[in-house]
Structure 1
Amino acid sequence: MKLLLENKNPIADGVVLLTLRHPDGDPLPAWTPGAHVDLVLADDLVRQYSLCGDPRDDSVFQVAVLREPDGRGGSQHVHDVLAAGQLVEVHGPRNHFELVEAKRYLFVAGGIGITPILPMIAQVEAMGHDWRLVYGGRTRSSMAFRDELERLGDVEIRPQDEYGLLDLEALLGEPAEGTAVYCCGPEGLLAAVEERCAAWPTGTLHVERFAPKPGAAQGQRHEFEIELSQTGTVLRVPADQSVLEVVERAGVPVLSSCQEGTCGTCETVVLAGTPDHRDSVLTAEERESGEVMMICVSRSCSPRLVLDL
């Protein structure tokens, strides 16, 4: 869908808030906290950004974008090229970072990783559950939504230049029964939180990445077959091609976006066989079940996979 970029406002050092609405004023698709959308910035430039507004407001989508000088060009395009009044192709929303039911919540955010957590906190607060947010960033002025968050409740703002790195050992050293942990931020923070939550009950930790987990897509690559259950077609997947590339070459329409295992757009149901998961989206439980796979990067542990395509 094409949406009108109504406003592009700076909200912190290096961060702009985009407000998009339907050009005809039509309501936008419903979404839940943790959801993201794809912004098609150019023909070969598609990026995922978390929705950070109010899910009850179906008139606008809002995303916050951090300028990343060493990134792949998406954030620089948003900051330097996009302007209010332009139409932007938007896909989604989709959610692989759903808020689960729990007795209490611990939110850990790093930098722009605060964006999916904002609407989560609003929902948890509305439900009357206990929650705590620890929010780290480079400097106080670089931390988006800081003033808004400090008015909410149990929020700890921890700029690195004032406090150093987040004390994750004190925060996560002892498992807390009934607590769901949500974390979004740079890879260093995600990896450190995952390490410290290894001793917590299975299913406690929920993370979201917008870049592949280091090494996730690596591993031996060998040839295997896929069967498309809807037609019975059997296709060979060579070692140097992905499942997505093979099915697209065969003329099978499949939605895809990032093609690096982070956005979840190409999620496909597996009817038989054992996937070799190489994405950065699925939880350990979802990987173990083998019910779905991201066909842009994941491969097969068995000679043949039967896919719901």
Structure 2
Amino acid sequence: MLAPTLKLRVASVDASTSLIKSFTLEAEDGALLPGFEPGAHIQVEVPAADNGVAQWRSYSLINTDPQQDTRTGVRAYRLGIRREDEGRGGSRFMHTLQTGTKLTVRSPINHFPLAAPPSVILIAGGIGITPMAAMAAELSAQNRDYTLHFSGRTRNALPFVDELQAFAGERLVVHADDESDTRLSIDALLDGAQLNQPIYVCGPAGMIDAVLAAARHRGWHECDLHYELFSEAAPQEGDTAFEIELKSSGKVLSVPADKSVLDTLLDNGVDVMYDCRAGYCGLCSTRVCSGEVHHRDTYLSDADKNAGKVMQVCVSRCNGKRLVLDL
């Protein structure tokens, strides 16, 4: 079930860095907005594609005030969005917004919840700081032990550092790739941590993969590794075209080698629920009636993948020529 929609207006726009803008959104009528927990995000409706189908983009909710209990409702939502000129257009649209612009958004949902262990390692890369800021504020409010490692190519490329420093203090460790003495070393970070100390990581896929691989190599349990991608799954070398058949109508659609099943469905006006577009939230789970699935998600269990009866259409593909989907 999709989250309810809200009508919001842009209350302010601030340039956090040369590529990142911060947006404050309020209800058009000034009403209190639904609350959220650290790690939550909203979906913003952006201009429809050529086929007229509405498009939605997910953006994490920021909080840098440990005194604010966001669960009970808030007066405004705050987003941090990096302009991606090579993306699908969502960030480019958001960066054109001005104060007073009206938006339709879906209420907060959370696929990246913060658990309650005694000591936490937070690792953020670039714009991946947005959910981590709310987590750090929550941990500070609860007087829980944590360290927030914040990495980017340069210090000037990192947003919200002053706000984070104000409440995190020495628990904030800033890493800059162009500074040899502060550059992030995942090996050094994990060598200094306790085995199975909970890790939360968000940022570019390469950084997340490196953190997870290093932790697993050291014996970390999967239940102590938590992550959220800030990029969609890209086509892989060797991907080929295939067909999908919609069981309800018998309609057959061709999925090109460089396009996902989800985008093919949306381009053809098929109403499919989705969110992360990276295979970890489970919202786009679709029943498979026949055909062999090439699973690329991290949501399904190994047993579910082996059964082959359901797939995440945002990332998974077909191992053969055709899949029949229960749509």
After TM superposition, give the deviation of residue 18 of structure 1 in Å. 0.5
In structure 1, stretches of 5+ residues that fail to align are: 228-232
- Normalised by the size of structure 2, how large is the TM-score? 0.74
The count of aligned residue pairs is 297
In 1, the alpha carbon distance for the partners of 2:38 and 2:294 equals 29
Coordinate RMSD, CA, aligned: 3.7
Map 1:1-309 → 2, pairs under 5 A: 1-44=6-49, 46-53=56-63, 55-56=70-71, 57-79=73-95, 81-151=96-166, 152-153=168-169, 154-162=171-179, 163=181, 165-173=183-191, 176-199=194-217, 200-214=220-234, 240=255, 253-256=271-274, 260-261=277-278, 264=281, 266-268=283-285, 276-279=294-297, 282-283=298-299, 286-288=300-302, 290=304, 293-299=311-317
CA spacing shift, 1:70–1:132, aligned 2, 3 Å: same
Deviations 1:21-66 (A, max 9, x none): 1101233233221112222221135422111135244221110112
Q: Give the letter for the 2:15 counterpart.
A: P
In 2, the alpha carbon distance for the partners of 1:182 and 1:87 equals 33
Paired residue for 2:52? Answer: none
In structure 2, stretches of 5+ residues that fail to align are: 1-5, 50-54
**Range 235-244 or range 118-127, more displaced:** 235-244
CA contact (8 A) 2:118 2:145 kept: yes
After TM superposition, give the deviation of residue 68 of structure 1 in Å. 3.0
In 2, the alpha carbon distance for the partners of 1:208 and 1:218 equals 26
CA contact (8 A) 2:279 2:296 kept: no
CA spacing shift, 1:253–1:222, aligned 2, 3 Å: closer
Paired residue for 1:230? Answer: none
SS at the partner of 1:157? strand
**Range 173-182 or range 236-245, more displaced:** 236-245
After TM superposition, give the deviation of residue 304 of structure 1 in Å. 8.5
Q: Give the letter for the 1:49 counterpart.
A: Y
In 1, the alpha carbon distance for the partners of 2:295 and 2:84 equals 29
After TM superposition, give the deviation of residue 299 of structure 1 in Å. 4.7
After TM superposition, give the deviation of residue 102 of structure 1 in Å. 2.1
CA contact (8 A) 2:190 2:215 kept: yes
Deviations 1:171-194 (A, max 9, x none): 124772341111111233122212
CA contact (8 A) 2:198 2:224 kept: yes
- Normalised by the size of structure 1, how large is the TM-score? 0.78
Q: Give the letter for the 1:159 counterpart.
A: A
Identity, % of aligned pairs? 31
In 2, the alpha carbon distance for the partners of 1:248 and 1:46 equals 11
After TM superposition, give the deviation of residue 269 of structure 1 in Å. 6.9
In 2, the alpha carbon distance for the partners of 1:27 and 1:271 equals 42
After TM superposition, give the deviation of residue 224 of structure 1 in Å. 7.7
CA contact (8 A) 2:255 2:261 kept: no
